[in-house]
Structure 1
Amino acid sequence: MPLEHAPPRPRILLLEDSLLDAELISEHLAKISPAPEILRVSSRPTYVQALEKRDFDVILSDFSLPDFDGMSALELAAAQVPDVPFIFVSGVLGEEMAIDAFRRGATDYVLKQRLIRLPAAVERALAEARERTERRRAEHQKELLVRELSHRVKNTMAMVMSIVRRTAKNSGTVESYVENLSGRLRAMADAHALLFESNWTDAELLQVLERTIAPHEQGNRFEIDAGPVIHLDPKAALALSLAFNELMTNAIKYGALSHADGRVAIGWTRDEIDGEPWLSLHWREIDGPAVRPPQEDGFGTTLIQRSIRYELRGETVLDYAVTGLVCDIRFPLSQQDGNIIS
């Protein structure tokens, strides 16, 4: 049975000039579990110095001190550590003063004649402070997710619009337009689905490749020489998914997969170039029809090259060898956002 981690000890800043009162307060605070760490200060300079360190979870303050007063201490705390609970522990705090203290931001007050209330007051203040902190953290995380989602949706829509326009421009018939566009959008959808399965954190290169191959796998026509496990960030996963789709479509229409005996060999390695990790991916078509270089690059070729070059800072080399198309893709695994994706 795994051991549970003990909660951290609360850190309490105690502003109190009376040593006797401080000892009584400490005795009552010792009933809290775990027992708190108490830092006692008794003057304005030591209090201000303690505030600057911000190394405490709750402030306890007397209301009346020889060279200082509790309201001033409250104002300083509200200015420097507004999220830290502030509790008055005093023997002279009247009802009007208490109301004024609450208006200025005090969390609670405990009379020195009733210190038995102090542990519960401190624990309640700590619990409320933790709840506020968690709520702010959750709201901040939600804000970040909404901004990130908005950014990705805009980028995705821009990419979709570009693909729609360029596909239309390079399609001779409505049928070919629908076929080409459907394939490209399906590749994007598959990559998005894979990323959503991992909460949009990363996707394995092998999984991205297998998603692209799955609709076309017939009789083990793909030879995958899987290299090391490579985790791709969303940008790289989308770019490679589109590249694989274009290579697959070309192989089915014109390349090795257009022949019954044709097949495709795919492999990758992780290399070090100038101390930086790079992915080198090799696509080779075998036993297909004789290949001739096209008179001009189509949109599929342009899409592959631009995706790798501009999205991943990499490079693509296409070799229209007579024995079959060869495509080499290389890009750094350290992306511009600082994330290592392998």
Structure 2
Amino acid sequence: MMDTTDRQVTILLLEDSDFDAELISEHVRQVSPEPDILRAIGRRDYVEALENGCCDVILSDYSLPGFDGMAALDLAIEKAPNTPFIFVSGVLGEEIAIESFKKGATDYVLKQRLMRLPAAIDRALAEAREKVERRRAEEQLKLLVAELSHRVKNTLATVMSIVRRSASRSSTVEDYQQTLTSRLRALSDAHALLFESNWGETDLRQVLKRTLHPFRPGQGVHIGISGPDVVLEPKAALALSLIFHELVTNAMKYGALSTDSGKVEIEWKKSPDVGAGQQIQFTWRETGGPLVETSEPGFGHTLIARSAEYELDGEARIGFRPTGLVCEIQFAAA
């Protein structure tokens, strides 16, 4: 049973009598919009139609030469289990009707009361569409639950890494508490932004501004931002949020933003779309800060490098130039 919302409905009519078939077809044509009628006379035609999957409703006589309605119902359940099946018969006793419903028939209409047929078809189509939508919703729910489980596991792994590395790099309890809280807040803010977009795509500029906002309360912090609109998938948005947080925290403590004269210029651009797909070239450039002194890379640098490699499928390069720190990140566009 396919979605019948935007296409012509096809009705498979299993009927050996030419007179009855014409009479039934006249009533079927009252359905709006008018359906296409595909007639099968015997078992071979009927099975072929079922296997082609070309029908949305099955109308079947109960008494057929060498082939009965229950056998037709069994074949429909086997080969087209989601297609509504309606018996249209001259005689259908109560016991047979009850048995057919138990086996999966949708409805039955007596040939003496064919005026009921259009309404029965409309009702069967509506119920079938409802079942299709319910199955889609259930499948979507399963996908969402699986995706949520995956994201929760990844987030917990990230949190555990942050907790462990922050502890190993902190000299005091207060320093550990401040560093850990700051990193977890950045992760939380990124999740909040993704929640606002219903865990869909978001914009690089939004992620950057949300991450930098706690560090720009007054006029003393000089950060320039420029670049085109870039769409990010949730995984990339989370990774970049943590990267931006590490960069701005380092700049506030040791780099350009630790002095009144320092500033940060942030820019990104899209590379030409070549064989590997379009790439984003992101640059964080600090100037006007204290004298740059190279040192052993800390957890922040490690987090930036690993996030770029494993979460963005890209590359991060951090350099200490005489004018200040420069971080260049290249990753694939969504």
TM-score, with normalisation over the residues of structure 2? 0.95
**Gap change, CA 1:281 and 1:7, over 3 Å in 2:** closer
Conserved? CA contact 1:14–1:40, under 8 Å? yes
Other-structure match for 1:256: 256
In 1, Cα distance between equivalents of 2:183 and 2:54: 55
In 2, Cα distance between equivalents of 1:288 and 1:96: 91
Between the aligned residues of both structures, percent identity stands at 60
Say whether 1:49 aligns with 2:10. no
Other-structure match for 1:311: 311
Other-structure match for 1:243: 243
Structure 2: which amino acid aligns with 1:332?
A
In 2, Cα distance between equivalents of 1:189 and 1:169: 22
Structure 1: which amino acid aligns with 2:64?
L
In 2, Cα distance between equivalents of 1:254 and 1:99: 81
**Structure 1 residue 274: Cα displacement:** 4.0
In 1, Cα distance between equivalents of 2:109 and 2:174: 80
Conserved? CA contact 1:187–1:241, under 8 Å? yes
Task: State how 1:148-297 maps to structure 2 within 5 Å.
Answer: 148-217=147-216, 218-219=218-219, 221-226=222-227, 228-272=228-272, 274-294=275-295, 296-297=296-297
**Structure 1 residue 7: Cα displacement:** 5.3
Conserved? CA contact 1:276–1:332, under 8 Å? yes
Structure 2: which amino acid aligns with 1:60?
L
In 2, Cα distance between equivalents of 1:118 and 1:331: 60
In 2, Cα distance between equivalents of 1:286 and 1:213: 17
**Structure 1 residue 275: Cα displacement:** 4.2
**Structure 1 residue 129: Cα displacement:** 1.1
Structure 1: which amino acid aligns with 2:203?
E
Other-structure match for 2:300: 300
Give aligned pairs, total: 327
Other-structure match for 2:97: 98
Q: Deviations over 1:117-170 (max 9, x none)?
A: 111111111111111111111111111111111111111011101100110111
In 2, Cα distance between equivalents of 1:230 and 1:110: 59
In 1, Cα distance between equivalents of 2:80 and 2:158: 46
Say whether 1:39 aligns with 2:3. no
The unaligned stretches of length 5 or more in structure 1 are 1-5, 334-340
Q: Deviations over 1:242-286 (max 9, x none)?
A: 111001011000000011111100000111454421111000001
**Structure 1 residue 328: Cα displacement:** 0.5
Alignment RMSD (CA, Å)? 1.3
Aligned-partner SS, 1:182: helix
Structure 1: which amino acid aligns with 2:106?
T
The unaligned stretches of length 5 or more in structure 2 are none
In 1, Cα distance between equivalents of 2:94 and 2:244: 75
Conserved? CA contact 1:314–1:332, under 8 Å? yes
**Structure 1 residue 215: Cα displacement:** 1.3
Structure 1: which amino acid aligns with 2:277?
E
Conserved? CA contact 1:8–1:34, under 8 Å? no
In 1, Cα distance between equivalents of 2:275 and 2:292: 35
Of the structure 1 ranges 127-136 and 239-248, higher mean CA displacement relative to structure 2 is found in 127-136
Conserved? CA contact 1:9–1:36, under 8 Å? yes
**Structure 1 residue 8: Cα displacement:** 3.5
Structure 1: which amino acid aligns with 2:240?
L
In 1, Cα distance between equivalents of 2:287 and 2:144: 45
In 2, Cα distance between equivalents of 1:315 and 1:202: 22
Aligned-partner SS, 1:22: helix
Other-structure match for 1:27: 26
**Gap change, CA 1:115 and 1:274, over 3 Å in 2:** closer
**Structure 1 residue 225: Cα displacement:** 1.9
Conserved? CA contact 1:12–1:39, under 8 Å? yes
